[in-house]
Structures are given as C-alpha cells and as structure tokens.
Amino acid sequence: MPETEHIHFDERQYHGLNRHSLLRRLLLATFCFVGYYWSENPKPVELEFFRIGEYPGNDRSGDLFFVLGLAVLALSVVLLFVLHMRTQVLAQAVLVDGRWPVKRVRIDLNGIKAVRRVRLRPSFLNRPVYNLFNRGMIRFYTHGNDAVELTTTDNIIYRIGTQRHEELINCIRQRLNEIQAKPAI
C-alpha cells in the first residue's frame, strides 16, 4: 500500500470477541472448576432428579481440573488481543488483511457491481473464517450477525463480516460513486 493512499474505513476484529467460541471456552472452564470442586468435596450429592456419586479418586488429580480451568480462562483473555482480520477501504480497493501467515486480499473497487447488507444465520457453530471459498462465495467472518456482500463483475461474491455494516456500505458506495464520476482518460 503506498504511503499516500488514504484509508477511508478501518475495522479490526479480534478472535476473543466471537461470543460462541467465548461461550464454549467459558463452559469448558466451568466444567473444569466443577470437577475440581467435586474432587475437593467427594461426598455424594443427591437431588430429586439426579444423583452425583462419590469422587472416584483419593489422589490430588482434581488439581489438574483447576489448572486446566485457569489455562482456559487465560487463553480467553489472550484471544481478546489476537487480531483475526482487518478490513480497510482505500480510494481504489477494499483490503482484507489477516494475521501474518495469511495472504492479504485486495478487492478492486472498479470491478464491484453490487454492494448489499446480508444478515448471517445465527448459529452456535459459526467459527471465524478468513478467505474461505465455500458454496460459490469467499467469506471473511469473525463474529456477529451482519455482513456486507460484494459482487464483482466476474460474479465472484465476497462476504465480509463486520460490526459496522452501515458505515462500510456507505463508504464503499461513496468510493464507487467517486470512481464512476471521474472522467475516463
């Protein structure tokens, strides 16, 4: 990217903010802490609808549950600061950049024929994806329920998940209008 190129839109999305993955990690940590508590208090528990028996071991193996629970919580905190993808709108292109080992994707604004907002299906299994080609479209997603769909003149569909969909759509449309208003040389 040239130093003189102005960034009109910039959004960063982080791994740790995906609420479904965060919920799975917190449930795993809760399971670990309950396992640790059960190892420290091995008496059987009887409720009306189920019974929890006595803890099967007499050693300190329950401490492993405590350490695993802390490790899962520490991982969740670290993931709050790990960048998954960055979306930028420049004068002539949309850039989607990921972590260091992945390829930067540049979508030329001259080749975009349609821009629209799409609502993603809420799913517990939505996982962060970067440059995933599936079912005729290329997807970029970290978290949330909104995305911007860009259709190129080659009928390639790019679906970019975003938390600021209105701002991204307006910025892309403004860039497209400026490009179309320029006289051909």
User: Residue 88 CA to chain centroid, in angstroms?
Assistant: 16
pLDDT for 40 beyond 70: yes
User: Which amino acid type is present at position 19?
Assistant: R
Whether 3 is covered by a domain: the verdict is no
pLDDT for 20 beyond 70: yes
- pLDDT by residue (tens digit) across 142-177? 777 788 999 998 888 998 888 888 999 999 898 888
Whether 1 is covered by a domain: the verdict is no
pLDDT at res. 21 = 82
pTM (2 d.p.): 0.74
Q: Say if residues 142 and 15 touch (Cβ distance below 8 Å).
A: yes
- Tell me: do 49 and 118 sit in the same domain: no
- Tell me: do 88 and 63 sit in the same domain: no
- pLDDT by residue (tens digit) across 72-87? 999 999 998 988 888 8
- Tell me: do 138 and 55 sit in the same domain: no
- Tell me: do 115 and 161 sit in the same domain: yes
Q: How many domains does the chain have?
A: 2
Mean pLDDT value of segment 115-130: 75
Q: Provide the residue range defining the domain that includes 115.
A: 9-14+83-181
pLDDT at res. 59 = 72
- Tell me: do 176 and 99 sit in the same domain: yes
Looking at mean pLDDT, say which of 41-45, 102-106, 118-122, 147-151 comes out highest. Answer: 147-151
- Tell me: do 133 and 158 sit in the same domain: yes
- Tell me: do 153 and 131 sit in the same domain: yes
pLDDT at res. 176 = 87
d(CA 162, CA 12): 9
Looking at mean pLDDT, say which of 19-23, 40-44, 76-80, 143-147 comes out highest. Answer: 76-80
* Structure-token match 């390639």, residue found: 156
Of the candidates 31, 53, 79, which is a domain's last residue?
Answer: 79
- Tell me: do 141 and 58 sit in the same domain: no
Mean pLDDT value of segment 135-145: 81
- Tell me: do 104 and 177 sit in the same domain: yes
> Please, what is the average pLDDT of the chain?
83
- Tell me: do 98 and 113 sit in the same domain: yes
pLDDT for 138 beyond 90: no
- Tell me: do 50 and 118 sit in the same domain: no
List the CATH number of the domain containing 174.
Answer: 2.30.29.30
Residues in CB range of 16: below 8 A, 6 or more apart: 22, 76, 77, 78, 79, 80, 81, 82
pLDDT for 103 beyond 80: yes
Whether 133 is covered by a domain: the verdict is yes
Taking only Cα atoms into account, the Rg of the chain, rounded to an integer number of angstroms, comes to 23
The first and second tokens of residue 15, run together, are 């791994």
pLDDT for 45 beyond 80: no
Which alpha helices (H) appear in the chain, and where do they start and end?
19-40, 62-79, 165-181
